[in-house]
């Protein structure tokens, strides 16, 4: 594993007005038991973006113009997220469902192995999927992957989890009151390290996206933990992987990101300064620099990429 520090010019935050991509096309991909809505733009090799919890494919829209200049931008909404009707009462909301859906989505693109970009929960889903079907993935870029089982044996893991858990009181209170939209805003504040009430004042449309996904919180919280995961499991995973870690994030995400990069058979870690778990939201241009730089580095190891030095 190699560790690098990002040095980038000031980015234009998506939340503060990065122009949306007006030429995005929409579609629906049938998978077993559901249809996954997606947005796409451009042609060439597919670069697939998968959102984390309390969100959906719309959080990636501002990435479409720049990414589609280098390949086929695709972002899909995981089952139960977004605004579509659920196929059941949420009984199928499991990690196993989302892992199977990711595998099926890539298979049915029928475009060969993909470059994958994840954020938080989807990084966990992609890790398990890549262990099952590594041939589907040309490369992976994870922003703070939420691979909780990977730190079970690390000293300090329980303290790190407790640090995060101590911030969840306002979300729990909102859920107990049946206010799932308010609960969504409160957990965004926890993971982004924002003061209580700050999420309400973020620039639209993101507060709307978060609130519309608040209905997933009860079933998300009720899920069983993922399957045990160890360094030995990841040692032979040779998919080129870039793990991006926010410089001001909570300890648990720092531990998970560092551990995934350390354990994976072909990975590097980059620290993105000035952000927490909100990096893809606050600094989209920085993350796009890294995505495209890693893609260039992977294609030509002598190029140095755009942001990742040799």
pLDDT at 302: 57
pLDDT at 3: 35
End-to-end CA distance of the chain: 13
pLDDT at 2: 36
Q: How far is CA 157 from the centre of its chain?
A: 21
Which are the contacts of 150, defined by CB distance < 8 A and separation ≥ 6? Answer: 229, 230, 231, 234, 256, 259, 260, 263
pLDDT at 17: 39
Asked whether the whole model's pTM tops 0.95, one would answer no
pLDDT at 301: 58
Question: Is 178 exposed, middle or buried (CB count within 10 Å of its CB: 0-12, 13-18, 19+)?
Answer: exposed
Let me know: does 206 contact 281? Beta carbons within 8 Å.
yes
pLDDT at 12: 28
Q: How far apart are CA 256 and CA 243, in angstroms?
A: 10
pLDDT at 307: 42
Please give the chain's pLDDT, 310 residues, in tens: 433 333 222 232 333 333 343 358 899 999 999 999 999 999 999 999 999 999 999 999 999 999 999 999 999 999 999 999 999 999 999 999 999 999 999 999 999 999 999 999 999 999 999 999 999 999 999 999 999 999 999 999 999 999 999 999 999 999 999 999 999 999 999 999 999 999 999 999 999 999 999 999 999 999 999 999 999 999 999 999 999 999 999 999 999 999 999 999 999 999 999 999 999 999 999 999 999 999 998 776 554 444 443 3
Let me know: does 60 contact 41? Beta carbons within 8 Å.
no
């Amino acid at each position: 594993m190699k560790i690098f520090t990002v040095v980038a010019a000031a980015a234009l935050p998506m939340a503060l007005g990065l122009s949306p991509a007006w030429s995005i096309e929409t579609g629906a991909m049938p998978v077993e038991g559901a249809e996954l809505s997606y947005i796409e733009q451009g042609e060439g090799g597919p670069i697939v973006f998968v959102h984390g919890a309390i969100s959906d494919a719309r959080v990636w829209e501002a990435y479409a113009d720049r990414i589609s200049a280098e390949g086929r931008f695709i972002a899909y909404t995981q089952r139960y997220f977004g605004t579509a009707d659920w196929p059941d009462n949420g009984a199928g909301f499991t990690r196993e469902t989302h892992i199977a859906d990711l595998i099926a989505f890539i298979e049915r693109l029928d475009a060969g192995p993909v470059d994958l970009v994840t954020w938080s929960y989807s990084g966990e889903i992609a890790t398990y999927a890549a262990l099952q079907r590594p041939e589907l993935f040309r490369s992976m870029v994870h922003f703070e992957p939420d691979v909780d089982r990977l730190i079970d044996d690390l000293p300090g893991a329980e303290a790190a989890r407790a640090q995060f858990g101590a911030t969840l009181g306002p979300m729990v209170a909102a859920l107990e009151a049946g206010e799932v939209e308010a609960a969504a805003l409160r957990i965004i504040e926890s993971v982004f390290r924002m003061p209580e009430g700050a999420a309400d004042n973020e620039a639209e449309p993101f507060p709307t996206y978060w609130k519309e996904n608040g209905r997933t919180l009860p079933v998300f919280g009720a899920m069983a933990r993922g399957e045990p995961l160890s360094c030995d499991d990841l040692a032979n995973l040779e998919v080129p992987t870039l793990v991006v870690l926010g410089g001001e994030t909570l300890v648990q995400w720092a531990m998970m990101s560092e551990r995934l990069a350390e354990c994976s058979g072909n990975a590097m870690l980059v620290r993105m300064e000035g952000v927490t778990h909100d990096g893809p939201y606050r600094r989209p241009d920085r993350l796009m620099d890294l995505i495209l730089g890693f893609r260039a580095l992977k294609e030509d190891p002598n190029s140095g990429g755009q942001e990742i030095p040799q």
